[in-house]
Amino acid sequence: MNSAKKGEKMVSEERLRLTFTDIAPQGDALARHDGEVVFAANGIPGEEAIVLAKRRKRYIVGEAVELISESPHRIAPRCPHFGKCSGCQWQHIDYPFQLALKRQMVARQLRERGNFPDAPVLATLPAAEPWHYRNHARFSVDPQGQLGFIHKHTRDFVPIDFCYLMHPRINSVLAALQGKCAGAHQVAVRYGVNTGEQLIQPKLPQIDIPSGQPCYEEELLGRRFRISAPSFFQVNTPQAESLFNVLRDHLHLKGAELMIDVYAGVGTFAALLAPLVGRVIAIEESAAAVKDAAVNITGLDNIEFLQGKAEGVLPQLEGVPDAAILDPPRLGCHRRALAALLQLSPRRIIYVSCEPATLARDLRVLCEGGYRLMSVQPVDMFPQTYHVECVATLVRGDPSPVLVLASASPRRRELFFVLGLDFEAIAPPEDESLPTDAENVEQVAEQLALKKAEAVAKVKGEKTVVAADTVVVHRGTIMGKPRDTDEAQQMLRRLRGEEHIVLTGVALLSGGRSYIGHAATTVTMRRYSDEEIAAYIASGDALDKAGAYGIQDPLFAPAERVDGCYLNVVGLPLCELAGMLRAAGVSVGARPLWALPPQCQECEGRGCLVGEIA
């Protein structure tokens, strides 16, 4: 159980029976008790549990110690130290649900701190290996020379002999150092996953392993980087490569751009992007990082490195950059740096952040300064923890894109982003009435989509307009969106344990021509309980979806089996849309496999998106 913080009055513990409804920014499960917010470790949204709790001034903290109802996403933690060292928060949650929670956390921060009510947050990009991924460990040392971690709340020292997040090489070093580091306060171990080099700081004369190295080298995407002891480098090497792939793909480079790399560190982004652009201006405050960068950009004559604070250097730059990369520390960008960037007005900004709260704050400043938030891609650099990296893409508000999505659905917008195209979204007039002249259910879905597209085309007629509409067909009866909670409950009970068809009509209007099509998927629902139906309807999502259910909802998870296109059920079959866009003359380039939703990556028909032969 977490103790009170230093300086806070100690109070007795209470046993509270609570239902967890959400996840907090620091990874605890959220609940409410008599109007007060409760933060509980070891909980999962959707569970009911007994929480051993203590009251603080404005909230209650505690730990779930007895489960009354268990989440289907709960698993047994691997590590015997889980909960004691506090380095991991989510080893008790299965990995797919960790990814869903991280996306949810990012979207909430953007909504609450950035005033983005429907932020375009994509599905979290998973790590190929959610264990043993860390290339950097910082161990605390007790007076006896033992290595371990300090609990973030109790400040207790927890000796560690093995960590499931650390690379095996770091665990080997840990075993060799354990009990032999008396006199040291901390020991840092860094390892080059792709080079085999390691760094141990400080110098430890009492051990046989070499230590005190000033730097080590790591390799990313075939390029070597020197990293000195004080310099920052991503702790997850494979995901650092994935992060760069996301960034590069969202820059839409053509080869001659002027790019500025702010908070450039040891020059990772600058060096990897230099061959793809005309010129790079990199800005970094840390003298140690700039010295590393001087080595790392060897052979690249189109990079200029400027040492100084971003808010001091940016106002001195001249010209209009085509693109800017922001990768600030956790505290985010200085206000003066953002103001200077708005003056420079690059065409496109990519903001990389490890802190969703400060990301939301800074994105609001940039959007109020004339930028549009195109997408936010969470990247899971830190599995088993609540931490998440994000890549946000912004473009200047003018000129507006030539593509218009006639939809208010955040799900359809998220899927549209996967195609890598700039677009604006406009909500069509609300009209859920079914066409009376359709000959079959396929035509019903197509005509509904066409009606949306035509309504938006009246005000955006010079642009290419895309619309989609989804219906659920059960035993020949069409089920659209429910009109109220009673109808939603009836729909969900009717579909329970049953097979049905989901049809999405897609319509595209461009240059006076129309393109119409549809996709169909067979879905079999599991036998969920009435209590699950009530909880899902209480969330408010049921009234926004055909048939009253969201297949992608991680808590309700109503589908037992899906035969056909999963994205069609979510609301936008990308294969069908990509074909229409190409037919209308809109260039839809092949997408890298990692950029596609997991369901598309596994689909035999993904060739229309990744350029492969299906």
Q: What is the rounded distance in angstroms from the CA atom of residue 260 to the CA atom of residue 245?
A: 18
Rounded CA-CA distance 581/589 in Å is 11
**36 forms bridges with which residues in the sheet?**
33
Helix (H) / strand (E) element for 218: namely strand 215-220
Please give the angle made by the CA atoms of 433, 435 and 436, to the nearest 5 degrees: 120
Please choose, from the candidates 582, 595, 608, the residue with its C-alpha nearest in 3D space to the C-alpha of residue 248.
Answer: 595
CA distance 140 to 133: 20
Residue 315 DSSP one-character state:
G
Other beta carbons within 10 Å of 483 = 10
CA–CA dist 526, 523 (Å, integer): 10
Beta-strand pair 198-201/157-159 = unpaired
Q: Enumerate residues 6+ apart whose C-beta is below 8 A from 416.
A: 405, 423, 425, 466, 572
- Is there a catalytic annotation at residue 354? yes
CA pair distance 571, 410, nearest whole angstrom: 10
Beta-sheet strands, E only, within 229-326: 258-262, 279-284, 303-307, 323-326
Q: Looking at residue 42, what DSSP letter applies?
A: T
CA distances from 578 to 52, 461, 496, 581 (A): 53, 21, 33, 5
What's the start-to-end Cα distance of the chain, in Å? 54
Question: Could you give the CA distance from residue 449 to residue 517 in angstroms, rounded to a whole number?
Answer: 9
Structure tokens at 86: 């506090």
Q: How far apart are CA 249 and CA 420, in angstroms?
A: 8
Pick the catalytic residue: 354, 565, 575, 600?
354
Amino acid letter, residue 609: L
- DSSP line for 186-216: EEEEEE-TTT--EEEES--TTSSS----SEE
* Alpha carbon of residue 246 to chain centroid: 11
Q: Taking Cα atoms as reference points, which of 431, 408, 582, 589 lies closest to residue 510?
A: 582
Q: 244, 375, 396: which is closest to 320 by C-alpha?
A: 396
Distance CA 206, CA 212 (A): 12
* 105 Cα distance to chain centroid: 9
The residues near 54 (Cβ < 8 Å, ≥ 6 apart) are 1, 2, 3, 4, 11, 12, 13, 14, 60, 61, 62
For 36, phi and psi rounded to 5 degrees? -95, 145
Q: Please give the single-letter amino acid code of residue 338.
A: L
- Residue from 158, 520, 48 nearest 33 by CA: 48
Residues classed as catalytic = 354
